[in-house]
Amino acid sequence: MADIVTIAHFSDLHLGPIPRPKPWQLLNKRIFGFVNWHRRRRSDEGMDRLEALVRDAATMVPDVTVLTGDFVNIALPQEFAQARHWLDARFDPAHTMAVLGNHDAYVPGAINAARTTFADYLRGDNGGPLPVRRIGGAALVGVNSAVARPPHLSSGRVGQQERDALLHTLERLGDTFKIVLIHYPPDQDLARGRRGLDDCEEVREVLAAGNANLVLHGHNHRPSARTLTTRDGEALMVGVESGSSDGSHYPPAAYNIYRINTGDGAVTMEKRTAIAANTISNETFNFAPLNTA
């Protein structure tokens, strides 16, 4: 079935401010993230830009909004509660699909709290091994790559079980336009070693063997667009800026709108950038049909 599917892609919201932690909550890796956050994101500027982008995205009336992780900063329980409240006021879980990032799994055990808190956004249409949502002639597949790591390490891992589930899911989707949501870029040139995906090569093999069409990711807080040769064509892999960047350490906050022709696989991407809290710029990119199989 040929149709146009419209997707808004936000990532790395790193919602702030961080609620005041109890002293004992900082007796672990969180202390580093807490100090860092206060050094870098003290102003409200980033959140103001994010609010402008969210209002802008609503006017685009996307079929679905996807969020590729790092909702919070240091995974405090009070941060999760605040983030869920924030999301619910702006997005409808029925039309929003998310995966988690390393900051949502910042300390051991945090990912379980994140999974519970954001369950309505992480879920698929039904109970397969991985969450899948069908949108017209496309399907979204959520892959978890976030794991707790010691201080100064922010690498991720999908793991054998989840990779097997991804391959099975992609194969089962057949000719559907397959969109994979993952926090980390599956590309060693974009993130490697201490901040990359441990099993990057294995994940790429699965994306290729399963004929993924589009991979949407975050983590780098910088824009990127790469291709990956798949069994029958090419997958486009797009990374988006942080939705709440004030522009001082990373490119300014932005989100992407993809319009996908699921018949021929052509993708048009509009990048909407908050160059200030009250000014959004627009840039359009056209990607040729990627998989004609």
Contact between 82 and Fe ion (CB under 5 A)?
A: no
Owner of token pair 């057949």:
174
Contact between 219 and Fe ion (CB under 5 A)?
A: yes
How many CA atoms, within 13 angstroms, populate the side-chain half-sphere of residue 139? Answer: 20
DSSP 184-234: S-S-TTTS-GGGSBTTHHHHHHHHHHTT--EEEE-SSSS-EEEEEE-SSSE
Residue 98 CB, shortest distance to Fe ion, in Å, is 13
Contact between 70 and Fe ion (CB under 5 A)?
A: yes
Residue 62 CB, shortest distance to Fe ion, in Å, is 22
Binding mask 135-174 for Fe ion (x = CB under 5 A): ----------------------------------------
Binders of Fe ion in range 7-26 (CB under 5 A): 12
Measured from the CB atom, the residue of 106 and 258 that comes closer to Fe ion is 106
Measured from the CB atom, the residue of 191 and 260 that comes closer to Fe ion is 191
Question: Any bridge partners for residue 181, and if so which?
Answer: 142, 216
Measured from the CB atom, the residue of 102 and 155 that comes closer to Fe ion is 102
Kindly tell me which residue out of 101, 124, 243, 252 binds Fe ion, with binding defined by CB under 5 A. Answer: 101
Measured from the CB atom, the residue of 49 and 219 that comes closer to Fe ion is 219
Contact between 102 and Fe ion (CB under 5 A)?
A: yes
Measured from the CB atom, the residue of 204 and 221 that comes closer to Fe ion is 221
Measured from the CB atom, the residue of 70 and 234 that comes closer to Fe ion is 70
Strands 96-99 and 64-68: parallel
* Cβ proximity of 220 and 248 under 8 Å: no
Interhelix angle 110-117/77-88, nearest 10 degrees: 20
Q: Give the C-alpha separation, 280 to 131, whole Å.
A: 33
Size of the site for Fe ion (CB under 5 A): 5
Contact between 210 and Fe ion (CB under 5 A)?
A: no
* Binding segment toward Fe ion, per CB under 5 A, in 19-27, 39-47, 93-101, 165-173: 93-101
Single-letter amino acid code for the residue at 214: L
Question: Hey, which bits of the chain come out as E strands?
Answer: 4-10, 64-68, 96-99, 132-135, 138-142, 177-181, 214-217, 224-229, 234-239, 254-261, 267-276, 279-287
Contact between 131 and Fe ion (CB under 5 A)?
A: no
Q: Give the C-alpha separation, 215 to 242, whole Å.
A: 17
Contact between 49 and Fe ion (CB under 5 A)?
A: no
Residues making contact with Fe ion (CB under 5 A): 12, 70, 101-102, 219
